[in-house]
Amino acid sequence: MPLPKHPYFRGLSPTLHIAHRGGSLLAPENTLAAFRLAVERYRTQVLETDVHLTRDGELVVAHDSTLERCTDGAGAVADHTLAELRRLDAGYTFTPDGGRTYPFRGQGVRMPSLRELLRAFPGLRFNIEVKPDVPGIEEVFAQVLREEGALERVCVGSELDEVGERLVRALPEACHFYPREALTSFVLTVRSGELPPEDPRYTVLDMPLHFGEVRLVDEALLHAVETQGRWLNVWTVDDPAEMRRLVAERVGGIMTDRPDLLRQILDEAPKPG
C-alpha cells in the first residue's frame, strides 16, 4: 500500500502496530500504564485513543462518557473537572482473569489529559477519536494540538459525521479519518463495483474487519484504497490467524487489544523487499 502524501505517514510502512486504547486486555485502557506497556514492551507505532471534554473545558483521555466501567467513580465525565477525574482510580476495575485479581487497583493509575499523553510520547503517532458532540470541542482539540506541536503526528476524527466535518474545518492541515456515514458510503460504493468519488477531507479508513458475517476487507476494497491514495486501519483484531492474514494482505495498520500477539506476528512476518 503506497503511503498517502500527508506528513503523518512520513517514515511509516504497512503493517502498523496500533495499540487500541493502549491494549485494553493487558492493562487498564486509556491510561499511561497501558500506553507505556504497548510502547516500551511491544514497540507499538501508533496509540489509538479517545477524548472527552471535562466540565472545566479540558480534554481527558477516555472512551466512555461515564465513569463506572473503568474507574471507581460514578457519573458523566462531562460533569467533572479534570482535577476531580484525576483523583479517581483508573485501574480499579481492570482484571486480567475474570475478576479473581485486580493488579492495578490502588496503584496510582489515573486518567490522563490529552496534553499529558502527547507529552509522555513526544515522538509517537496517535489515532484519536473525539467522542462527544459538544459545541466547540473541535476548537479545544485544535488548540491543544497546535500548542503541543502535535499536528503532524495525530490522525483525528469522530464517528459522527457532523463532528468529523467540524474537525476538518478546525484542523484543515491535520490527517483525518472518515466518520461513519462517509466511511459507509466508501465501502458500499466499492462493494457495488464502483470507485467512490474523491473526498479530500479524509485520508484514513478506520473500520471494522467484519460487518455481521461479512468480511469487509477484500481485494476490491484494498484496490480502491490504494487507487485513491488512502490508508486502511482495521479494528479491533485480537485473533492471531486474522492478524497474519491482514499482514499478508498488507493492510495499513491493525488495531488490537493484544499488542503482545500483534508484535509477535509482525516480528515473524517476512519483510518486504
Domain residue ranges in the chain:
7-59+115-268
210 is known as an active-site residue: no
Q: Report the amino acid identity of residue 161.
A: D
110: which 3 cell numbers?
A: 489515573
pLDDT category at 107 given cuts 50, 70, 90 is very high
Question: What is d(CA 75, CA 270) in angstroms, rounded to the nearest whole number?
Answer: 48
Determine the pLDDT at residue 270: 78
Q: Among 20, 52, 80, 176, which one carries the catalytic annotation?
A: 20
- Closest C-alpha to 91, from 119, 76, 111: 111
Q: Give residue-wise pLDDT tens across range 23-66.
A: 999 999 999 999 999 999 999 999 999 999 999 999 999 999 99
Beta strands 231-235 and 253-256 are parallel
Residue 2 has pLDDT above 80, yes or no: no
- Asked if the model's pLDDT at residue 114 lies above 60, the reply is yes
Give yes or no for a contact between 23 and 102, defined as CB atoms under 8 angstroms apart.
no
CA 29 centroid distance within chain: 12
Catalytic one among 6, 17, 52, 63? Answer: 63
Q: What is the fold, at CATH topology level, of the domain defined by 7-59+115-268? A: TIM Barrel (3.20.20)
Look at residue 249 in the predicted model and tell me its pLDDT. 96
pLDDT band at residue 267, thresholds of 50, 70 and 90?
very high
63 is catalytic: yes
Residue 176 CB-half CA count within 13 A: 29
DSSP label of 203:
-
